[in-house]
């Protein structure tokens, strides 16, 4: 092995990669032979990496004519991964030496695509889409780029040049992005401004605005490896009849699946998986199934089954079929019998520790050796497997293992367990079975049963691709293609089910939908719009690298989405009472306010203006400063929507020294300069339902102190020690203006609102408390249909969650903090 390391490094492989390749018993001899087949001793980095890519493919799929392909790489005829893919595909069915011209044609050998040809092809595609693009503008960008990248004339073109030319021509066609590329602004520009009374009536009858539309799904799949995946029917099979039957059943349609295990809530990483699986199928005119991987009855619960489907639908997707691995228990059992009969599976009585030793110990680096039961007669394993099925073995005393390849360098080929004994009631089959198939046995076979064309999964299953294909071929069933993409993680949190349960058990959180978490139910409860999650995921695209994204990037998408859908409401989270000394006690006037300034489509509402008001504590200082523009003693500020400003004339204190009220003068006589700033306020007018009193405002901050709480170099005490014990602040006594209640009534009058409230989902009621942040109602809010229909705002116990803060400039933040 040692002598191969410098040889492989000469290909341009990094030292660690060369060492891994040299120690891989499958890849090392193949790569060594390919290097020898070229007849060369030195290699360019491009040539070396292509040879390595060929070796890894050949080791797994036993590609024929690899020596010929290696020489084509060395001579420069094959110079890109696209050409290499075409070469292996051609050689799987043809002898390249027998028809070199056909090989060259199939692989684009000698084809040069000039800049002029790229420009002409891009122009032709955009001309064909011109009317659609002029209508959709940049919302159609993803689809257009996908069509350009799939253009046959550009198959062998430099993809970077194609993308650059596409960007130039699209800009020339559409011009820079402007308000037309914002659906909300487009709707606003098209709407006629109604008269004030008409606007108020329309606002009362109309639903709250629909959410901001995220980028097209097509943009996720327009570039990279996922844009070059096989078409249905192109994946090779061990027997041609299997593909014939597959195409007859599917009519050549793309079929994907999203296969979660129902043992916990989905999280932000699953949002990417949902978008990838459902999105790829939708983009290519296919369908996607939801399949519950329910093969472990000790961990699965109906609560999680229901939650998963709710999460998928919440993100805007509808499964073509809702299926369960348990649907196939009988078929899986019959295939297990078939494998035993063919000598490809055996019953093993080794303990877990013994199996670990057989596989080389904990690090898989020790000597591997066969299980003593590996070569028992098939008849004996059949009898033992029947005993397992009949419940004659205790748990952990017998397993069915697949007889794979112990000499292979891939641990996923070391006789994986196919069945184990578990005595537990299954959520669907009850106690019908006491043997249950493992993920490694179930997953690929269920994909096969469902005629999945593209089995898309995350990178931790990369090594499983080989065992996936091995089992499909061993069982002689249709073999889908598995393709892996990078996992998505975000900073300042943990996503592991085990760690989430630990947080609950330690009393840090009480439920797994606590809004400080990044499970999908938690994000939904916090008030995060699904459009924001989809936009975040789609912006990242689909690559093969695992990514950990700063949570601020997600929050920016949340703000963008909420900015489009949230009505503006005046509120005081920490209220201070203000008395306008020059107004009579019974003074009431109605002021009309827009739900969103400069956007008439949101409508308007009326709020009372009275002698007694409330302002937020952040809008007052006892000691003024030149860079502070809000209220202070002897200082004048404007009130949002009010005709005149106010001036603070006195500060009254409670016995404990806190401010009990501010005495102000309403400057409704004489002329006054326009105030530098305007603050929000809430009137004290019980006869008109003001203020709306909020029982609790829950302010959520990051649950962990560091961006990576699992990094022991930063958090030596372990991830649990990094918990921010002040991550939840509960504020009592906040108040809001009557627009809050008016918006709730409008929402309840809509079809969507009725349905959501009937199901006790209140997080669709989202608001911007002006200059404070975005908020929603928590599910703990006692909001009944009767209270809404009978206008009994006083009967409602309002619990409000902060979704996210507003973006503020540094001066404003400093002023608030002072």
Write out the catalytic residue numbers. Answer: 261, 487, 497
CA–CA dist 313, 616 (Å, integer): 38
Tokens standing for 405? 């390849």
CA angle (677 as vertex; 675, 682 as ends), nearest 5: 105
Distance CA 321, CA 443 (A): 17
- SS3 for 343? coil
Q: How far is CA 59 from CA 21, 410, 602, in A?
A: 11, 11, 62
Closest CA to 63 of 97, 103, 90, 101: 90
User: How far is Cα 260 from Cα 289, in angstroms, rounded to an integer?
Assistant: 11
The two tokens of residue 290 are 């939801």
What phi, psi does 22 have (nearest 5°)? -65, -30
Chain centroid offset of residue 188 CA: 30
Both tokens assigned to 135? 């209508």
DSSP 366-430: S-----TTTTS-HHHHHHHHHHHHTT-S-TTS-EEEE---TTSS-GGGS--EEEEE--S-BTTTB
607, β-bridge pairs:
591
Query: Apex CA 650: angle with CA 647 and CA 651, to 5°?
Result: 115
Taking each helix axis from N to C terminus, what angle separates 27-38 and 15-23, rounded to the nearest 10 degrees?
Answer: 110
Strand residue runs (E) in 695-791: 696-700, 728-731, 734-736, 766-769, 773-777
Kindly list the distances between the CA atom of residue 527 and the CA atoms of 23, 702, 766, 796, in Å, as whole numbers in the listed order: 51, 16, 7, 19
Instruction: Estimate to the nearest angstrom the gap between the alpha carbon of 565 and the chain centroid.
Output: 21
Beta-carbon neighbour count of residue 742 at 10 Å? 23
- What is d(CA 4, CA 8) in angstroms, rounded to the nearest whole number? 6
Q: Using CA atoms, how far apart are residues 522 and 260, in angstroms rounded to an integer?
A: 18
3-state SS assignment for residue 39? coil
Please name which of 669, 698, 681 lies closest in space to residue 642, comparing C-alpha atoms: 681
- Rounded to the nearest 5 degrees, what angle is found at the Cα of 748, between the Cα atoms of 680 and 206? 75
DSSP 704: B
Strands 659-666 and 646-653 turn out to be antiparallel
How far is residue 104's CA from residue 110's CA, in Å, rounded to a whole number? 8
CA 223 distance to own-chain centroid: 19
Distance linking the first and last C-alpha atoms of the chain = 66
Residues contacting residue 98 through CB under 8 Å, at least 6 positions apart:
none
Cα separation, 661 vs 652, in Å, equals 5
The first and second tokens of residue 513, run together, are 């939908």
Q: Would you tell me how many other CB atoms lie within 10 Å of the CB of residue 335? A: 23
């Amino acid at each position: 092995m040692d002598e191969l390391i410098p040889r492989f490094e000469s290909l341009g492989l990094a030292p660690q990669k060369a060492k891994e390749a040299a120690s891989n018993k499958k890849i090392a001899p193949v790569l060594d032979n390919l290097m020898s087949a070229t007849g060369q001793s030195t290699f360019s980095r491009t040539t070396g990496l292509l040879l390595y890519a060929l070796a890894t493919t050949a080791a797994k799929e036993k590609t024929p004519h690899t020596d010929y392909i290696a020489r084509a790489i060395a001579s420069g005829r094959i110079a890109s991964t696209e050409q290499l893919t075409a070469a292996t595909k051609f050689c799987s069915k043809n002898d390249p030496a027998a028809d070199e011209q056909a090989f060259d044609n199939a692989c684009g050998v000698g084809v040069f695509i000039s800049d002029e040809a790229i420009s002409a092809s891009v122009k032709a595609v955009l001309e064909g889409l011109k009317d659609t693009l002029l209508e959709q503008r940049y919302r159609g960008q993803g689809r257009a780029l996908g069509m350009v990248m799939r253009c046959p004339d550009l198959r062998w073109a430099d993809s970077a040049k194609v993308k650059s030319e596409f960007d130039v021509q699209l800009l020339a066609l559409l011009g820079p992005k402007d308000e037309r590329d914002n659906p909300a602004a487009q709707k606003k520009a098209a709407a006629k401004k109604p008269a004030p009374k008409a606007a108020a009536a329309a606002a009362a009858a109309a639903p709250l605005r629909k959410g901001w539309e995220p980028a097209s799904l097509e943009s996720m799949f327009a570039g990279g490896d996922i844009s070059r995946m096989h078409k249905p029917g192109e994946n090779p099979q061990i027997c041609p009849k299997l593909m014939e039957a597959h195409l007859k059943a599917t009519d050549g349609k793309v079929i994907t699946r999203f296969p979660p295990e129902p043992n916990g809530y989905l999280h932000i990483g699953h949002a990417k998986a949902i978008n990838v699986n459902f999105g790829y199928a939708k983009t290519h005119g296919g369908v996607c199934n939801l399949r519950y991987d329910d093969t472990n009855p000790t961990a699965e619960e109906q609560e999680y089954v229901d939650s998963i489907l709710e999460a998928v639908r919440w993100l805007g997707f509808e499964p073509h079929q809702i299926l369960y691995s348990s649907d196939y228990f009988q078929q899986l059992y019959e295939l297990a019998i078939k494998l035993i009969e063919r000598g490809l599976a055996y019953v093993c009585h080794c303990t877990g520790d013994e199996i670990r030793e057989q596989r080389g110990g904990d690090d898989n680096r020790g000597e591997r050796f066969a299980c003593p039961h590996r070569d028992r007669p098939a008849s004996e394993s059949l009898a033992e497997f029947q005993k397992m099925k009949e419940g004659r073995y205790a748990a952990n005393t017998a397993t069915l293992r697949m007889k794979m390849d112990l000499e292979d360098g891939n641990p996923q080929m070391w006789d994986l367990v196919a069945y184990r004994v578990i005595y537990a009631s299954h959520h669907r089959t009850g106690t019908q079975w006491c043997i249950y198939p493992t993920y490694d046995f179930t997953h690929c076979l269920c994909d096969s049963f469902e005629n999945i064309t593209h089995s898309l999964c995350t990178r931790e299953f990369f090594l499983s691709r080989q065992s996936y294909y091995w089992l499909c071929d061993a069982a002689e069933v249709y073999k889908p293609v598995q393709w892996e993409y990078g996992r998505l993680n975000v900073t300042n949190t943990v996503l592991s089910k085990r760690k989430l349960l630990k947080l609950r058990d330690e009393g840090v959180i009480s439920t797994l939908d606590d809004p400080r978490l990044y499970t999908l139910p938690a994000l939904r409860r916090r008030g995060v719009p699904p459009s924001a999650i989809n936009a975040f995921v789609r912006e990242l695209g689909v690559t093969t690298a695992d990514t950990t994204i700063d949570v601020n990037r997600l929050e920016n998408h949340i703000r963008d989405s909420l900015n489009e859908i949230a009505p503006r409401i005046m509120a005081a989270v920490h209220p201070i009472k203000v008395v306008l000394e020059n107004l009579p006690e019974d003074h009431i006037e109605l002021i009309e306010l827009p739900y969103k300034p400069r956007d008439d489509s949101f409508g308007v509402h009326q709020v009372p203006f009275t002698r007694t008001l409330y302002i937020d504590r952040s809008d007052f200082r006892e000691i003024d400063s030149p860079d502070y523009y809000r209220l202070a003693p002897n200082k004048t500020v404007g009130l949002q929507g009010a005709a005149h400003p106010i001036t603070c004339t006195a500060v009254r204190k409670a016995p404990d020294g806190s401010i009990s009220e501010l005495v102000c003068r309403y400057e409704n006589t004489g002329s006054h300069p326009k105030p530098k700033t305007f603050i929000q306020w809430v009137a004290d007018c019980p006869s008109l339902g003001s203020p709306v009193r909020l029982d609790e405002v829950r302010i959520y901050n990051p649950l962990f102190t560091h961006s990576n709480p699992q990094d022991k170099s930063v958090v030596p005490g372990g991830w649990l020690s990094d918990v921010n014990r002040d991550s939840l602040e509960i504020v009592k006594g906040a108040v809001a203006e009557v627009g809050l209640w008016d918006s709730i009534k409008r929402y309840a009058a809509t079809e969507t609102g009725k349905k959501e409230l009937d199901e006790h989902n209140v997080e669709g009621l989202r608001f911007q408390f002006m200059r404070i942040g975005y908020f929603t109602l928590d599910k703990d809010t006692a909001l009944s249909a009767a209270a809404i229909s009978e206008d009994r705002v006083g009967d409602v116990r309002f619990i409000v969650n902060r979704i996210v803060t507003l973006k503020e400039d540094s001066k404003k933040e400093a002023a608030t903090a002072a």
